[in-house]
Structure 1
Amino acid sequence: MKPSSLKNIIAISGSTRKNSANHHLIKAIGELSKDTFEITLFEDLLGLPAFNPDESIENTPEKVLQFRALLNAADGILICTPEYAHGVPGTLKNAIDWTVSSAEFSNKPAVLITASTDGKYGHAGLLETLKVIEAKNIENLELLISFAKTKINAEGEITEEKTLEQIKALLNRFNETINDVQD
């Protein structure tokens, strides 16, 4: 595939730790899909101010406007996140809250991968949020990777074959969904 035909994907890691399993996973996915996707990691979750509904439409902070512009320009969104205390990491939820009234996720193909020790509660909660804000085909573009550190090593390699195959299949469905939206 020619570089000009690569699909523009914005990746968001729900973890703000520099060497998190989710950052490693995004890098691994970037390598797996380099002939299909150009993945850009949004690295400023901590820079977004706390969500304020009064500023969501008017007087919106510049960093929020920049975040929204990145999402709008993307062909798809990839979210890789841990679960914190059976929930969605606060910085990730905050970022998503800034998009509710402006609808960047609406009809936008989005993938949710929760890679954590357990993950099922945070995954279910975030999946519900993404359905409510109308992320395109989210029911078919999600994957829970429990015990992630046993499946993704410190170098960012996916070491379990079953997980690797699940991710490849998910990326194929993601590409198909983007193609459907663009047609």
Structure 2
Amino acid sequence: MSSRPLFLYALCGSQRQASASRRLLEALRLACPEGITIEICDLIAGLPIFSPDDEGERTPPVVAKFAGKIGEADGLIVSSPEYAHGIPGGFKNALDWLVSRDEVPFKPLMFAHASHRGDLVLEQLADVLQTMSLRIVSDAFLRLPIAGKGDEAQAAILSQARESGLLQTSLSRFAEAICTEA
């Protein structure tokens, strides 16, 4: 692994604070092996609707801050539910703001999926993110089906995944892929 700490920026497709996707990202943040830190993005809900007219010198400050965090990150973690067989609108809007920017090409990306279903959103996200030239690290893919379960059941599943090393293993695989490419 790298001699310097890795900074991972986590993007949640759901903007609900109590979403299963967000809980999975929080569990990953708490399970970070030494040398890795995760920050969960809290800017997506505040992004204005994307318009190419507002790029360049007219880029809104919140978009510049969002893109800056993406640029600082050694890798991205994406966790998103499937809404009506697709990518949640607010999350797609956030991705649209990044399409023509320099922060994302070849940035490593890991999926953390909180459902036993929702493969359509994974396929659509993979297509969009690969089009944006992000590098999806499939060896780090994490699926932990907590969506649709009550708070206690979610907490128990997340605790078991942490104790078994499942969360750390996915993060370690992701870190290894980042460091191998660096």
Could you state the TM-score of these two structures normalised by the residue count of structure 1?
0.83
Sort the Cα spacing of 1:147 and 1:33 in 2 relative to 1 into closer, same or farther, 3 A: closer
Sort the Cα spacing of 1:151 and 1:6 in 2 relative to 1 into closer, same or farther, 3 A: farther
Count how many residue pairs are aligned between Structure 1 and Structure 2.
179
Matched-pair identity in % = 31
Mapped partners of 2:127, 2:68: distance in 1: 24
- The residue type paired with residue 88 of structure 2 is P
Q: Which moved more, 1:116-125 or 1:71-80?
A: 116-125
Mapped partners of 2:78, 2:33: distance in 1: 17
Aligned to 1:181: 181
Residue correspondence of structure 1 range 15-34 to structure 2 within 5 A: 15-34=14-33
Residue correspondence of structure 1 range 1-183 to structure 2 within 5 A: 5-116=4-115, 118-146=117-145, 148-150=147-149, 153-155=153-155, 158=158, 167-182=167-182
- The residue type paired with residue 173 of structure 2 is R
**Paired residues of 2:14 and 2:81 also in contact (CA < 8 A):** yes
Mapped partners of 1:151, 1:83: distance in 2: 19
| Cα drift, residue 126 of structure 1 | 0.4
Sort the Cα spacing of 1:35 and 1:51 in 2 relative to 1 into closer, same or farther, 3 A: same
Mapped partners of 1:113, 1:130: distance in 2: 14
Sort the Cα spacing of 1:140 and 1:105 in 2 relative to 1 into closer, same or farther, 3 A: farther
RMSD: 2.7
Q: Which runs of 4+ in 1 moved over 6 A?
A: none
Mapped partners of 2:16, 2:173: distance in 1: 29
- The residue type paired with residue 44 of structure 1 is L
Structure 2: runs of 5 or more not aligned: none
Secondary structure of residue in 1 paired with 2:158: coil
Structure 1: runs of 5 or more not aligned: none
| Cα drift, residue 30 of structure 1 | 1.3
Mapped partners of 2:39, 2:156: distance in 1: 16
Q: Which moved more, 1:132-141 or 1:80-89?
A: 132-141
Sort the Cα spacing of 1:167 and 1:155 in 2 relative to 1 into closer, same or farther, 3 A: closer
**Paired residues of 1:119 and 1:145 also in contact (CA < 8 A):** no
